[in-house]
């Protein structure tokens, strides 16, 4: 079996042994596979800390960008579109009707040239309520 391991594999194995002996990587099994429960828990904890600090995780929603501090910042060019969508929904317009209106009036999507879809409109309406405090400041 050892003759199947090439020099790179040996280097990786030696590196893992060094890490384990220095206790730099606590949760490694003997076979070099990380404990997935531990990795998952540490990832969730890190994401929770980011959220607690007010930082956004994941991609920025339509109409926003993530600034240097990791927080959501509205794109001025999209604020009026977001408000239009939300107001049309308040007027009880159907999601399909709103999407059709945006497409007919050549309102640019986040994908620049893509088409508006009812689910995209729905996501924006739901996020509007969540991000109202950010939007009303602008």
What residues does each domain of the chain span?
Answer: 2-52, 64-136
pLDDT digits (tens, 9 = 90+) for 25-80: 555 554 566 667 777 888 888 888 877 777 877 888 888 888 888 888 888 888 88
Q: Residue 95: which pLDDT band, with cuts at 50, 70 and 90?
A: very high
Measure the CA–CA gap between 15 and 21, rounded to whole angstroms: 10
Q: Is the pLDDT of residue 97 over 90?
A: yes
pLDDT tens digits, 98-111: 999 999 999 988 87
Q: Which pLDDT band, with edges at 50, 70 and 90, does 127 fall under?
A: confident
123-130: long-range contacts, CB 8 A cutoff, minimum separation 24 = 123/61, 123/62, 124/61, 124/62, 124/63, 124/82, 124/85, 124/86, 125/85, 125/86, 125/89, 125/95, 127/61, 127/62, 128/82, 128/85, 128/86
- Please tell me which of 1-5, 11-15, 74-78 the model is most confident about, judged by mean pLDDT: 74-78
Residue 135, pLDDT above cutoff 70: no
pLDDT at 102: 97
More confident residue, 133 or 25: 133
């Amino acid at each position: 079996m050892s003759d199947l391991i090439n020099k790179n594999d040996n280097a990786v194995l030696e590196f893992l042994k060094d890490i384990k002996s220095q206790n730099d990587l606590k949760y490694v099994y003997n076979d070099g596979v990380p404990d997935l429960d531990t990795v998952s828990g540490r990832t969730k904890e890190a994401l929770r800390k980011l959220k607690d600090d007010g930082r956004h995780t994941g991609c920025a929603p339509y109409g926003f960008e993530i600034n240097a501090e990791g927080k959501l910042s509205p794109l001025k060019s999209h604020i009026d579109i977001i408000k239009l969508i939300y107001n049309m929904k308040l007027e009880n317009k159907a999601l399909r009707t709103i999407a059709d209106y945006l497409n007919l009036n050549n309102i640019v999507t986040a994908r620049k040239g893509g088409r508006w879809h009812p689910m995209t409109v729905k996501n924006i309406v739901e996020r509007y309520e969540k991000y109202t405090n950010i939007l009303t400041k602008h």
